[in-house]
Amino acid sequence: MAVKVDAISYPPRGLSREEAARYVGVGPTLFDEMVADGRMPKPKLVNTRAIWDRITLDISFTSLPDKESGLRVLLERSGQKPASGR
Contacts of residue 36, defined as CB under 8 A and 6 or more positions apart, other chains included, come to none
Q: What is the distance between the alpha carbons of residues 46 and 52, in angstroms, rounded to a whole number?
A: 10
The backbone torsions φ and ψ at residue 66, rounded to the nearest 5 degrees and listed phi first, read -75, 175
- Which sequence spans correspond to the domains of the chain? 14-65
Whether residue 15 contacts residue 55, with contact meaning beta carbons closer than 8 Å, is answered with no
For 27-51, what is each residue's pLDDT tens digit? 999 999 999 999 999 999 999 999 9
In this prediction the pTM is 0.71
For 61-85, what is each residue's pLDDT tens digit? 999 988 776 667 777 778 776 565 5
